Amino acid sequence: MNRFFFIGLSVAVTAFIAANALLLFGEKSIISKNVYVSEYERAYSNTYTEKLPKESIVAPRASTQIYVQEREAIDQWTVNEGDAVQAGSEIALLNEAESEGQRALWESEKSALESEKSEVQSSLSALESARASQSGKESENTSDQSTETNEDGDTIEYNFDFSVGVEVPQDGSFAAGIAQAEQRLAAIESQLAVINAQLSQSLASPALVSPVEGIVAKVNRDSSPLSVEIYSEEKTFVTYLLEDEWKDVAAQDRVMVQAEGLEQAVPGTVMSVSQIPAGDSRWLEAYRALEPKEQANPVAFYEVQIMADEPINGELPFGSSANAEVIINEATEAVAMPQPWIFNRYDTSGFAYVLAEQGNAAVVPVTVNFEVDGKAVLSDGIAPGTVMLKDSTLSDFKTPPNVFMPFPSEQPDYEFAKNTNWRKYVEFLLAR
């Protein structure tokens, strides 16, 4: 008898416990629950920046090339690599007997460059108008033929052919074509400045002169055409963007640059971001060695010019390396939360749990601006002072559960504790 009684009692107790468990923990249970949340943070506003680190090289702000077509026209070079020159300084003495022929070449080249400048300006205006009206393409071709008669009565014919034009898809952007035209226009103006400086020299004592102030970078004394390259004394930092980085950087972005020779990191500004792939140069070669990265597109390197806010003319030599950090995203008075705490995220949208005034976990939509150091910087969704929750079990409840959390704890700083007198500890204990 007793045995059956205890068996029945056990069954009844078990059934009671099971029924209560179903009522309490079942999916259809309407009984409110308290959930322990072990991780939480109080949101606070701060300034967050996302930076793109890049290797960079010290390069001249501008480079001027001076050419001499006739080898016999040079009587004597008066400069070497590394020499500083002023505008109007003599670079080489010209042979009086051959200088007339060289002047004739310069005159013809000037005429051709002025014609090309006019064509480029026309093409640039047409491209800008076409972009406004979404026209398809703009292409201009021109040629210049001129003749000169030398002292011996021989006729010299000069033939300059060039093409100015950019094919642009009907639905494409005209920015690349306009950038290319502006780049060519700047090059033409630089060449005209060089030629005008040479033509202004006296015929009595002809000389090749520098049109600008700077430092002689290279003197080509051997192969034709003979040339001199002059770097401007004003220096910039040159770096290159890969295809996936190009959209993140724009002119006027702020930069911090650090290099050996500078006492501290110096602020700077992105002066230009090229839309045209960079051609082979010593700067690109140096960048590839400093920051080797594999990418599918071998030509997708885009030059970026960075100018320091304060001149660095004498502090770093040309070609030295530096570390640059471009600020590509910045948010002030913004809230950030750990990335894993955002759930059901798609692109920049997602959801997060916060502690509501009623003590329950509430779901709020959030918008992510950018990510930095493992945190998602929000542009919308959570206000400063809100308690943000992280618990994977919160989503298991149909209605937002009440939550309870551990008390915040703070461990004393070791240096502070070590330097605190023992009497302070006694007073603290007695005060309790």
C-alpha distances in Å from residue 270, one per residue of 236, 250, 260: 10, 7, 21
Out of 4-13, 133-142, 291-300, pick the least confident.
Answer: 133-142
User: Residues near 84 by Cβ (< 8 Å), separated by ≥ 6?
Assistant: 214, 215, 216, 233
Return the percent helix, strand and coil in the chain, to nearest 5.
30, 35, 35
Q: Is the dihedral of CA 200, 205, 210, 212 positive or negative?
A: negative
Q: How large is the average pLDDT for residues 315-340?
A: 91
Q: What type of residue sits at position 215?
A: I
C-alpha distances in Å from residue 200, one per residue of 3, 69, 92, 95, 241: 126, 18, 15, 16, 42
Instruction: Tell me if 327 sits within 8 A of 254, measured CB to CB.
Output: yes
- Residue 255 DSSP SS3: strand
Find the helix or strand (DSSP H, E) in which 5 lies. helix 2-25
Q: What is the mean pLDDT of the chain?
A: 79
Q: Is the pTM of this model over 0.75?
A: no
Compute the distance between CA of residue 407 and CA of residue 341 in angstroms, rounded to an integer.
20
User: Cis ω on the peptide bond leading into residue 225 (within 30° of 0)?
Assistant: yes
> Is residue 109's pLDDT more than 80?
no
Q: What is the structure's pLDDT at 255?
A: 95
> Is residue 162's pLDDT more than 50?
no
Cα of 22 vs its chain's centroid, Å: 59
Compute the distance between CA of residue 57 and CA of residue 239 in angstroms, rounded to an integer.
7
CA atoms within 13 A of residue 400's CA, in its CB half-sphere: 16
Q: What is the structure's pLDDT at 171?
A: 36
Q: How large is the average pLDDT for residues 178-199?
A: 73
Q: What is the structure's pLDDT at 409?
A: 64
Rg value, the chain, Cα? 36
Q: What is the pLDDT of residues 387-412, one digit of tens each?
A: 999 877 787 777 777 888 787 666 66
Q: What type of residue sits at position 345?
A: R
